[in-house]
Structure 1
Amino acid sequence: MTHLKHTVLAAGLGLSLAGGPALGELRTETVEYQVNGETFTGYLAWDDEEEGKRPGVLVVHEWWGHNAFAREQAEKLAAAGYTAFALDMYGSGKVADHPNDAKAFMTEATKDLDQVKARFLKAKEILENHDSVDPERIAAQGYCFGGAVVLNMARLGVDLDGVVSYHGALASPIQAEPGKVKAQIQVYTGGADQMVPSEQVAGLVKEMQDAGVDLSLTVFPGVRHSFTNPAADRIAEQFGMPVGYDEAAAQRAWDGTLRFYQRLFAD
Structure 2
Amino acid sequence: MRTCLLGLLMLFSGLSFAAIKTQEIPYESADGTKLIGYFAYDDAIEGPRPGVMVVHEWWGLNDYAKRRARDLAGLGYAALAIDMYGGGKNTEHPKDALAFMQAATADAAASKARFLAGLDLIKAQPQTDAKQIAAIGYCFGGKVVLDMARQSVPLLGVVSFHGALVPAVPATKGSIKARILVEHGEADSMVTPEQVAAFKEEMDNADADYDFVSLPGAKHGFTNPDADRLSHGEHGGPDIGYQKEADENSWADMKSFLKGVFD
- 1:161 and 2:156 aligned: yes
Instruction: Return the alpha-carbon distance in structure 2 between the equivalents of residues 197 and 113 of structure 1.
Output: 23
**CA deviation vs aligned residue, 1:146-193 (integer Å, no higher than 9, x gap):** 000000000001000000000000112421111111100000011110
Kindly state the Cα deviation for residue 110 of structure 1 after the two structures are TM-superposed. Answer: 1.0
Q: Once the 2 structures are TM-superposed, how far is the Cα of residue 93 of structure 1 from its aligned partner?
A: 4.5
Aligned amino acid, residue 262 of structure 2: F
Contact 2:18 2:43 in 1 (8 A): no
**TM-score, normalization by structure 2:** 0.91
The one of 73, 80, 97 aligned to 1:102: 97
State the match for 1:58 in structure 2.
53
Q: Which residue of 2 aligns with 1:189?
A: 184
Write out per-residue CA displacement over residues 44-91 of structure 1, whole angstroms, 9 at most, x where no aligned residue.
Answer: 000111122111000000000000000000000000000000000001
1:248 aligns with 2:242: no
Q: TM-score by structure 1 length?
A: 0.89
Map 1:94-243 onto structure 2 (within 5 A): 94-238=89-233, 239-243=236-240
User: What is the CA–CA distance in structure 2 between the aligned matches of 1:93 and 1:150, rounded to whole Å?
Assistant: 18
The question of whether the paired residues in 1 share the 8 Å contact of 2:54 and 2:136 is answered with: yes
Identify the residue that residue 5 of structure 1 maps to in structure 2. none
Q: Distance in 2 between matches of 1:53 and 1:83?
A: 8
- Higher Cα Rg: structure 1 or 2? 2
2:27 corresponds in structure 1 to: 33
How many Å apart are 1:29 and its aligned residue?
1.1
Q: Which has the higher helix share?
A: 2
Question: What does residue 258 of structure 2 align with?
Answer: 261
Aligned AA (1:32):
P
- State how far apart, in whole Å, the 2-side matches of 1:37 and 1:188 are: 33
1:237 Cα deviation after fit: 1.7
Q: Secondary structure at the match of 1:136?
A: strand
Q: Which runs of 4+ in 1 moved over 4 A?
A: none
- Greater relative CO, 1 or 2 (CA 8 Å, sep 6+): 2
Residue 222 of structure 1: how far off its partner (Å): 1.4
Letter of the structure 1 residue corresponding to residue 110 of structure 2: Q
Q: Whole-Å Cα distance in 2 between the matches of residues 67 and 115 of structure 1?
A: 21
| Matched residue type, 2:117 | K
In the alignment, structure 1 segments of 5+ residues that lack a partner are 1-21
Partner deviation per Cα, 1:223-260 (whole Å, 9 max, x = no partner): 10000000000011222421100011000000110111
Contact residue 147 and residue 168 of structure 2 kept, 8 A: no
Cα distance in 1 between the residues matched to 2:50 and 2:248: 22
Amino acid at match of 1:66: L
Asked whether the equivalents of residues 170 and 196 of structure 1 are also in contact (C-alpha less than 8 Å), the reply is yes
Q: Percent identity?
A: 46
Unaligned runs of at least 5 residues, structure 2: 1-15
TM-superposition CA deviations, 1:12-54 (whole Å, max 9, x none): xxxxxxxxxx962111110111222221111000011112211
1:43 aligned residue: 38
